[in-house]
C-alpha cells in the first residue's frame, strides 16, 4: 500500500480486511514529483503517528507486514538524503530498472528513461524498495 494524504486513516482497516486473505503486505509513502503535490503526507506529527501505528501493527503481525521497524522509522524523514531531485544516500544503483523498451529509467523505479522527463523529489521520497536497502545497510557511498 502506498500511503498518501487521502488514505492514511484506512491502514488499520486495510490490515484487518486483508490479513488471512493475502500472504504479505508492504507499506510505503507517496513520493511527489512537484512541491505542491497534495497527495503527499508531509513530514511531521501526523506522518510520525502513521509510522508509529505501522510499527505497532508490524510487531503484532510480523509474518504479515514485511517492513522492518528500522525502515519504518526512516520513513519519518528524508531517508534518501537527497537534495531536490538528486539522490545522495539512496542506493538507486542496486536495482536494474528497465522501461517497456528495455531502456534504463532514472533515477529509480518511478523515474523515466527520458532525460527530459519530470523527476521525483528525492528529499521527500517515500519509496519502500530502496529504503529497505538503506535500513539494511546499503547506501550510495
Binding positions for ligand SF4, 19-38, rule CB under 6 A: 31
Residue with cell 528497465: 98
CB 83 within 8 A of CB 76: no
**Choice from 28, 120, 132, 133 touching ligand SF4 (CB under 6 A):** 120
Q: Where are the beta strands (DSSP E) in the chain?
A: 2-3, 28-29
Binding positions for ligand SF4, 36-75, rule CB under 6 A: none
Nearer to ligand SF4, 50 or 90 (CB): 90
CB 131 within 8 A of CB 80: yes
Nearer to ligand SF4, 42 or 62 (CB): 42
Burial of 51 (0-12, 13-18, 19+ CB in 10 A): buried
**Choice from 28, 29, 72, 87 touching ligand SF4 (CB under 6 A):** 87
Nearer to ligand SF4, 30 or 58 (CB): 30
**Choice from 65, 74, 127, 133 touching ligand SF4 (CB under 6 A):** 127
**Choice from 28, 41, 130, 135 touching ligand SF4 (CB under 6 A):** 130
- Give the cell for residue 56: 505497532
Burial of 16 (0-12, 13-18, 19+ CB in 10 A): exposed
**Residues in the site for ligand SF4, rule: CB under 6 A?**
31, 80, 82, 87, 90, 92, 107-108, 120, 122, 125, 127, 130
Amino acid at each position: 500500500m502506498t500511503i498518501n494524504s487521502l488514505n492514511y486513516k484506512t491502514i488499520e482497516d486495510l490490515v484487518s480486511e486483508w490479513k488471512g486473505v493475502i500472504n504479505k503486505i508492504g507499506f510505503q509513502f507517496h513520493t511527489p514529483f512537484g512541491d505542491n503535490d497534495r497527495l503527499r503526507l508531509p513530514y511531521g506529527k501526523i506522518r510520525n503517528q502513521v509510522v508509529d501505528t505501522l510499527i505497532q501493527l508490524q510487531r503484532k503481525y510480523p509474518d504479515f507486514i514485511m517492513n522492518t521497524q528500522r525502515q519504518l522509522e526512516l520513513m519519518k524523514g528524508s531517508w534518501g538524503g537527497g537534495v531536490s531531485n538528486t539522490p545522495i544516500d539512496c542506493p538507486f544503483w542496486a536495482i536494474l530498472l528497465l522501461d517497456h523498451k528495455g531502456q534504463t529509467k532514472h533515477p529509480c523505479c518511478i523515474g523515466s528513461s527520458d532525460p527530459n522527463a519530470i523527476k521525483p523529489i528525492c528529499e521527500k521520497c517515500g519509496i519502500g524498495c530502496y529504503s529497505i536497502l538503506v535500513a539494511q545497510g546499503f547506501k550510495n557511498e
